[in-house]
């Protein structure tokens, strides 16, 4: 994975020379921009960037933060005051250095922000995400149970790993269990382990996930999917801090930090009788509710760029998201959150032929009901001719297979009837012949 560009911006040739020598000695590739036009050209070419900039050089650094993929700006103001620093950080700079800071402060700041811009781990450009990350970092240092809730695809497991990595247990194991994916009758054995002969096929003893996470962190993903009977056993393990394998005769003390996730309203599950109230309070020590992707639009461009890098890591060159493509991504409501965004980027990488990902390469999952129609009416996603023809041919073929039934066709295509009706109307307006039959069930 290539690093973000490191760009130096100043009209002080001596300062630029000093910075370049210092940073290149540490192995950083450095670009230099003396004018706004040069800087814009570099940013257009590279996408991600960390900028070391000296105010007063003629470049409006605040304007840079309005880009769809904003750079991280480190300001260097030799005679800067505390008030200057507060104002700069408030306006969006990531760091503020003065002549009182030594060269190590610059190196550390550059290293940290290059790493944060690289797309590894959490992407947190949006203020809302930054607040969540700050809370997660704070709780990581304390040995308390954390409950992460939020819609599917918001990155709960990514946050759980971040908490583990920031905690004193970072050198210990991180063990994740998807409670929704394991059959009920097997989950107990998976969590707590079993002795030889505990059930048919248990030819040898096996440690459970609690024992495997000893000294580290255990993630109980989708904990709300555990049945009531097993919830009681889980509660006992959490209370007693010891686990007994199936058909075992001895309890093993455990030193494990537990993080649980859910995409449900766990308090509502308690009230409905589907989740134990005592277990709820045992898990609900420090709750964090992760915002949906549509609530943190400043993360969308950087996340999309990170997915491009991830899925092009083995390629010699990578296509770049254009400003127009990023703006189109920002306007989508993202019901599937980060997981849906990654799918859209993967599709775009299949469709793109050159070095630029344009809006025409973006294919979105249909949004149920009125949302799709309103979105499509207000700001239709541009599709290139090849993609549009392919979609229209698929709709017509499916209509013919389903004898014209719009309900059956929509179900087959995985879209709502209303969305299908909208697409058929657009096809008619383009002069295409749409299979037509009579009856309320048909289009």
| pLDDT digits 0-9 by tens, 353-368 | 888 999 999 999 876 5
Predicted pLDDT at 28: 80
Task: Note whether 141 and 238 are same-domain residues.
Answer: yes
Taking a C-beta distance cutoff of 8 angstroms, is the pair 385, 347 a contact? no
Least confident range of 18-27, 152-161, 343-352, 382-391: 382-391
Res 248 pLDDT > 60: yes
Report if residue 253 sits inside a domain.
yes
What lies within 8 Å, CB to CB, of 403 at 6+ separation is 437
pLDDT at 390: 63
Taking CA atoms, 253 is separated from 143, 174, 175, 210, 425, in Å, by 16, 18, 17, 10, 66
DSSP H or E segment with residue 23: helix 13-25
Range of the domain at 326: 293-365
The whole-number average pLDDT for the span 37-43 is 86
Q: Among 105-109, 270-274, 299-303, 438-442, whose mean pLDDT is lowest?
A: 438-442
306 part of a folded domain: yes
In a domain, 122, yes or no: no
Listed in sequence order, the DSSP H helices in 36-80 are 36-46, 61-64
Residue 388 pLDDT grade (very low, low, confident, very high; cuts 50, 70, 90): low
Q: Which residue has the higher pLDDT, 443 or 418?
A: 418
- For the segment 276-303, the average pLDDT, to the nearest whole number, is 94
Higher pLDDT, 229 or 397: 229
Q: Are residues 133 and 281 in the same domain?
A: yes
Q: What is the pLDDT of residue 440?
A: 38
C-alpha to C-alpha distances, 2 to 39, 318, 319, nearest whole angstrom: 19, 10, 13
Residue 68: predicted pLDDT: 60
| Residues 142 and 269 reside in one and the same domain | yes
> Dihedral sign, CA of 420, 424, 425, 426?
positive
Residue with tokens 């709750």: 287
Q: What is the pLDDT of residue 300?
A: 93
Same domain, 133 and 279: yes
pLDDT at 439 over 50: no
Residue of 270 and 415 predicted with greater confidence: 270
128-171 pLDDT, tens digit per residue, is 888 888 899 889 989 999 999 999 999 999 999 999 988 999 88
Q: Is the pLDDT of residue 98 over 50?
A: yes
Q: Among the ranges 4-8, 107-111, 266-270, 365-369, which has the highest mean pLDDT value?
A: 266-270
Q: Are residues 156 and 253 in the same domain?
A: yes
Identify whether residues 254 and 338 lie together within a single domain: no
What is the phi-psi region of residue 26: left when phi exceeds 0, alpha when psi lies from -120 to 50, beta otherwise? alpha
316 lies in the same domain as 435: no
Mean of per-residue pLDDT scores for the chain: 83
Residue 123: inside a domain, yes or no?
Answer: no
Work out the average pLDDT over 52-70.
82
Residues 37 and 147 both lie in one domain = no
What are the start-end ranges of the H helices in 103-198? Answer: 103-117, 127-140, 156-166, 184-192
CB 214 within 8 A of CB 258: no
Is residue 439 included in any domain, yes or no?
Answer: yes
User: Would the pLDDT of 378 be above 70?
Assistant: no
- pTM metric for this prediction: 0.61
Please tell me which residue, 388 or 299, carries the higher pLDDT value: 299
User: Where is the domain boundary, 95, 117, 139?
Assistant: 117
Average pLDDT in the 284-313 region? Answer: 90
Mean pLDDT is highest, among 28-32, 69-73, 167-171, for: 167-171
386, pLDDT greater than 60: no
pLDDT of residue 164: 92
Contact 4, 117 (CB under 8 A): yes
Whether residues 235 and 343 fall in one domain? no
Q: Which residues, other chains included, contact 420 with Cβ-Cβ below 8 Å and sequence gap of 6+?
A: 395, 406, 409, 410, 413, 443
What percentage of the chain has pLDDT greater than the value 90?
A: 36
Q: What's the CATH number where 357 sits?
A: 1.10.8.60
Cα–Cα distance for residue pair 302/412, rounded to 1 Å = 34
- Looking at the fold, whether 248 and 207 belong to one and the same domain comes out as yes
Q: What is the pLDDT of residue 203?
A: 76
Q: Are 209 and 191 in contact (CB under 8 A)?
A: yes
Closest CA to 69 of 91, 42, 29, 89: 42
Question: Which among 264, 289, 314 is the end of a domain?
Answer: 289
Res. 377: pLDDT tops 60? no
The reported pLDDT for the residue numbered 435 is: 74
Residue 389 lies in a domain: yes
* Domains contained in the chain, number: 4
Question: CB under 8 Å to 278, separation ≥6 — which residues?
Answer: 235
| CATH code (residue 428) | 1.10.10
Are residue 250 and residue 329 in the same domain, yes or no?
A: no
Q: Do 161 and 207 have their domain in common?
A: yes
Helical axes 323-331 vs 337-351, angle rounded to 10°? 140
> What CATH number is attached to the domain comprising 236?
3.40.50.300
Q: What is the pLDDT of residue 432?
A: 79
Instruction: Tell whether 400 is covered by a domain.
Output: yes
What one-character DSSP code corresponds to residue 405?
Answer: B
Find the range with the poorest average confidence among 111-125, 152-166, 170-184, 346-360.
Answer: 111-125
Give the integer Cα–Cα distance in Å for 21 and 18: 5
pLDDT of residue 272: 94
Least confident window among 43-47, 130-134, 178-182:
43-47
The domain boundary, picked from 65, 83, 117, lies at 117
């Amino acid at each position: 994975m290539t690093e973000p560009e490191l760009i130096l911006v100043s009209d002080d040739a001596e300062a630029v020379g000093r910075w370049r020598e210092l940073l290149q000695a540490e192995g950083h590739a450095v670009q230099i921009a003396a004018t706004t036009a040069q800087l814009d050209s570099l940013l257009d070419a590279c996408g991600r960037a960390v900028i070391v900039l000296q105010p007063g050089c003629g470049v409006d650094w605040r304007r840079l933060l309005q880009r769809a993929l904003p750079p991280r700006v480190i300001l260097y103001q030799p005679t800067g005051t505390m008030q200057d620093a507060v104002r700069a950080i408030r306006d969006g700079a990531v760091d503020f250095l003065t002549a009182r800071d030594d060269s190590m402060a610059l190196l550390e700041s550059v290293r940290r922000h290059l790493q944060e811009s690289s797309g590894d781990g959490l992407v947190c450009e949006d203020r809302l995400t930054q607040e969540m990350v700050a809370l997660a970092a704070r709780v990581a240092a304390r040995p308390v149970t954390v409950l992460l809730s939020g819609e599917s695809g918001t990155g709960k497991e990514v946050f759980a790993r971040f908490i583990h990595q920031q905690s004193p247990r970072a050198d210990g194991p991180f063990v994740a269990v998807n409670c929704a994916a394991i059959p009920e009758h097997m989950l107990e054995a998976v969590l707590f382990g079993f002795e030889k002969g505990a059930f048919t096929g248990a030819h040898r003893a096996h440690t459970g996930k609690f024992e495997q996470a000893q000294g580290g962190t255990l993630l109980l993903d989708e904990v709300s999917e555990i049945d009531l009977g097993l919830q009681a056993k889980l509660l006992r393990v959490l209370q007693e801090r010891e686990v007994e394998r199936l058909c075992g005769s001895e309890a093993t003390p455990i030193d494990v930090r537990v993080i649980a996730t859910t995409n449900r309203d766990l308090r509502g599950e308690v009230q409905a009788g589907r989740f134990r109230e005592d277990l709820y309070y045992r898990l609900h020590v420090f709750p964090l509710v992760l915002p949906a992707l549509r609530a943190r639009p400043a993360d969308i461009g950087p996340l999309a760029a990170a997915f491009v890098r991830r899925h092009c890591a083995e390629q010699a060159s990578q296509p770049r998201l254009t400003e127009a493509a990023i703006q189109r991504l920002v306007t989508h409501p993202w019901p599937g959150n980060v997981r849906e965004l990654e799918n859209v980027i993967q599709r775009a990488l299949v469709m793109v032929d050159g070095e630029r990902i344009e809006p025409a390469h973006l294919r979105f999952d249909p949004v149920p009901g009125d949302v799709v129609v309103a979105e499509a009416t207000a700001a239709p996603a541009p599709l290139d001719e090849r993609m549009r023809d392919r979609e229209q041919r698929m709709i017509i073929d499916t209509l013919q297979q389903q004898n014209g039934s719009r309900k059956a066709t929509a179900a087959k295509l995985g879209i709502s009837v209303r969305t299908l009706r909208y697409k058929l109307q657009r096809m008619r307006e383009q002069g295409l012949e749409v299979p037509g039959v009579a009856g309320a069930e048909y289009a």
